[in-house]
Structure 1
Amino acid sequence: MVFGARVWKTGIAVALALYISAWLNFTPPVIAAVAAIFAMQPSIYRSWRYFLEQLQTNILGAALALLAGMFFSNNVIAIGIVCILVIIICLRMGMEETIGLTLVTVVAVMEASGEWQFAVNRFLLSLIGIGCAFLINVLFFPPKPREQFAAQIETAFGKMSLLLRTVISNEMKETVFREEKESLQGALNSLAGKYKLMEEEVKKLKRNRFSHIRHLVIYKQKLLVMNKGLEVLEAVDEHYFQATRTPQIDVYFDEHLEKLSKYHEHALLKFDDKLKADSNEGVDIEAENELFMTRLIERYNERPAGMLRLSVVAAAMYDYGYQVARLDKLVEHYHRGETEEKEPFDLLLKSIRLK
């Protein structure tokens, strides 16, 4: 578990909510603390959206609880029925994330047995907690999904590069390989979450300038290439070692996979502007990728034993190489300037569906 900024911000938001509640003589302050815990979100956009949605559902929940409390007091069956109604309404409104905190407000208000002063008190406690979480999230170490994505993809590629360079030669211990591959899968899942946060910010916060969009396109392709690399590892693990093969085949696959991994690294470094412009001059990974498949198909026509399984691995490698080459082209156009890059970037903009 990583103790990041969100952990510290949650603690600060809880402390601030408790302090403000005590200063205003609102009781019990624990409601504000619970609200602050629920309201801490991983991005500015989600914090703002959560704040607005909680404001709507909490007003609705408090109103229903106040009416029910006036007629049924704090009857436990009535509390349960109101909770069911609030859940249904939140689901109908498409605000599933607000259900937990809204129910806390409902129970707290109905505990007051219809006394509107107590109901308002408990409602304001929830708003204090939500507001504190939002302010702390914005003012202290605001979430930066783009920077986090860049740092995490560098770490994830380091893991994947090691696995790709050793998977064919089978140099890594089996237990270590399994652990590293599971760690890589977890890292890619985390990257997917970070990309979703970036995509939400570009779509919902009106950051539809081309400079933001082109970054989003490249990050989307980066994530796709990483997943294609993982597919290669899974294909090798599932099919390669079960196939009948020769030492020459091992060398052939190992050398090509190493070329693809190295070219992937070059594309990432080129995007970060860490390589010279002509660092890949003379290297045509697409041609080498096609040559790799052509030679394999020629061998497949001879129908040597095990070639069917090897063709599955080869197809995964070819797809990985194709997506790496595509990433490299996007990076080149990115560095050349907006005028020249717009056409190739438009090819991927459709998949993002910016409104």
Structure 2
Amino acid sequence: MKLAIGMRNIKTALAVLICLLISKVFNLEYPFYAVIATIIAMENSVTNSYTVGKNRVMGTIVGAVFGMGFALIDPHSAIFSAVGIVVVIYICNLLKWNKSVSIASIVFLAIMLNLRPGENPWFYGMNRVLDTLIGIGVAVIINYLVFPPNHERNMEQRRKILRQRLTVLSHELLAEGGGVHISSLKKDMSELEKVYEIYTSEFHLNKKKRTIMDHLEEEIDIYHNTYSHMRMLRLLTDEPPQAVESKPQVDFKFSSPPARPLTVHGEDLLMIYRYHVRCILQDLTQLGLMLPTKIAPPLNLRKELSGEHKNVNRIND
């Protein structure tokens, strides 16, 4: 169990503190809305903080505009609250602000239901927009200035884990001739891609860093290519020998060309197996990873090949 307090946790608390101090200095009546905005906008990257904040601002504006309009007609009305929600959601969808629907609805209802007798709806609505802007601004600034997320370090860690896993699994798979589970490799690739996507979306990437990211993108493509060949080896070698031999006999005397015997099928399987082995070795070489010292024949042809090749340590063409 991970018990350490993360930096995002600390930055969120710092952003809340600053929002409350700003609310006190400017005598904001509802600091709660600024605090909520800053908590929601504190994301795992500066770009994500900005994106979440932007969606919240757009939703707040839509909710505030219609909330003020409906509140002028009849605040606290259940009928108008329901009709207003329909309108707010429709407008957000019309503008393709789908991620702003929830906050727009919340702001609309906050104005409709929390408006005190005699309070000006326009004044109340504009204050909600101001609170949101303060909270989002604080979150983005804190995320950018105070220990910004170190995506380079995270990427290098995920890359190191993936390369180690790929080396181990590829060596085991080729040494055994199949029969090795490789699903963990796909999970490691997914983790690396997540960090990669977050980092490439950041604002502050310079030309040198973008060159590094382009190189990493090419490397990720090779990882996927290697995984595909390794998966094909699993599919080729998962079928036990008796499954091939016990296939029902079909009379092909009327077919053209005539059916090919099982021995040719086995040779085809070995040829495909060799092809994927060569591709894996080429990918490992391109990635600068250690090549396996032993490559066994496929598991489901081991008995058949043992009669023809008594000493098969490496598959070569």
By the TM > 0.5 criterion, same fold? yes
User: Does structure 1 residue 222 correspond to structure 2 residue 224?
Assistant: no
**Partner SS state of residue 266, structure 2:** coil
Structure 2 residue corresponding to 1:303, chosen from 260, 264, 267: 264
User: What does the per-residue CA deviation read over 1:129-164, in whole Å, with 9 as the maximum and x for residues that have no partner?
Assistant: 212211221111212333322221111222222222
Q: 2: CA distance between counterparts of 1:73 and 1:318?
A: 73
Structure 2 residue corresponding to 1:86, chosen from 85, 88, 112: 88
Whether the 8 Å contact between 1:13 and 1:136 is mirrored in structure 2 is yes
Whether the 8 Å contact between 1:62 and 1:106 is mirrored in structure 2 is yes
Offset of 1:81 from its aligned partner? 3.6
| Percent of residue pairs identical | 21
Structure 1 residue corresponding to 2:161, chosen from 155, 158, 162: 155
Whether the 8 Å contact between 2:154 and 2:195 is mirrored in structure 1 is yes
The unaligned stretches of length 5 or more in structure 2 are: 243-262, 289-317
Aligned twin of 1:193: 194
Question: Would the alpha carbon gap of residues 150 and 50 (structure 1) be closer, same or farther in structure 2, given more than 3 Å must change?
Answer: same
User: What does the per-residue CA deviation read over 1:58-94, in whole Å, with 9 as the maximum and x for residues that have no partner?
Assistant: 2232112111221231334433443343334334444
In the alignment of these two chains, the number of paired residues is: 263
User: Does structure 1 residue 109 correspond to structure 2 residue 70?
Assistant: no
Q: 2: CA distance between counterparts of 1:68 and 1:135?
A: 35
User: What does the per-residue CA deviation read over 1:164-193, in whole Å, with 9 as the maximum and x for residues that have no partner?
Assistant: 222344599x9xx75xx4543333222222
Structure 2 residue corresponding to 1:31, chosen from 33, 39, 43: 33
Amino acid at match of 1:96: N
Question: Would the alpha carbon gap of residues 31 and 225 (structure 1) be closer, same or farther in structure 2, given more than 3 Å must change?
Answer: same
What TM-score results when the alignment is normalised by the length of structure 1? 0.61
Aligned twin of 1:130: 136
Aligned twin of 2:172: 166
The unaligned stretches of length 5 or more in structure 1 are: 246-301, 329-355
Whether the 8 Å contact between 1:38 and 1:101 is mirrored in structure 2 is no
Pairwise mapping of residues 258-269 of structure 1 onto structure 2 (< 5 A)? none
Amino acid at match of 2:234: D
Q: 1: CA distance between counterparts of 2:278 and 2:85?
A: 54
Bigger shift: residues 154-163 or 89-98: 89-98
**Partner SS state of residue 305, structure 1:** helix
Amino acid at match of 1:191: L
Whether the 8 Å contact between 2:226 and 2:283 is mirrored in structure 1 is no
Offset of 1:41 from its aligned partner? 2.6
**Partner SS state of residue 201, structure 2:** helix
Question: Would the alpha carbon gap of residues 184 and 22 (structure 1) be closer, same or farther in structure 2, given more than 3 Å must change?
Answer: farther
Q: 2: CA distance between counterparts of 1:316 and 1:87?
A: 52
Question: Would the alpha carbon gap of residues 22 and 102 (structure 1) be closer, same or farther in structure 2, given more than 3 Å must change?
Answer: farther
Q: 1: CA distance between counterparts of 2:109 and 2:99?
A: 17
Q: 1: CA distance between counterparts of 2:13 and 2:272?
A: 50
Whether the 8 Å contact between 1:14 and 1:33 is mirrored in structure 2 is yes
User: What does the per-residue CA deviation read over 1:274-325, in whole Å, with 9 as the maximum and x for residues that have no partner?
Assistant: xxxxxxxxxxxxxxxxxxxxxxxxxxxx7252743x5555554444455556
Q: Larger Rg: 1 or 2?
A: 2
User: What does the per-residue CA deviation read over 1:216-259, in whole Å, with 9 as the maximum and x for residues that have no partner?
Assistant: 221101211222233244333333232649xxxxxxxxxxxxxx
What TM-score results when the alignment is normalised by the length of structure 2? 0.67
Question: Would the alpha carbon gap of residues 316 and 102 (structure 1) be closer, same or farther in structure 2, given more than 3 Å must change?
Answer: farther
Whether the 8 Å contact between 1:90 and 1:96 is mirrored in structure 2 is yes
Structure 1 or 2: more helix by fraction: 1
User: Does structure 1 residue 235 correspond to structure 2 residue 232?
Assistant: yes
Question: Would the alpha carbon gap of residues 48 and 25 (structure 1) be closer, same or farther in structure 2, given more than 3 Å must change?
Answer: same
**Partner SS state of residue 264, structure 2:** coil
Offset of 1:213 from its aligned partner? 3.7
Q: 2: CA distance between counterparts of 1:240 and 1:97?
A: 46
Q: 1: CA distance between counterparts of 2:97 and 2:282?
A: 40
**Partner SS state of residue 37, structure 2:** helix
Whether the 8 Å contact between 1:231 and 1:316 is mirrored in structure 2 is no
Q: 2: CA distance between counterparts of 1:170 and 1:4?
A: 42
Pairwise mapping of residues 1-355 of structure 1 onto structure 2 (< 5 A)? 4-21=6-23, 24-113=26-115, 115-170=121-176, 181-201=182-202, 205=203, 209=207, 211-242=208-239, 244=241, 303=264, 305=266, 307-308=268-269, 313-323=273-283
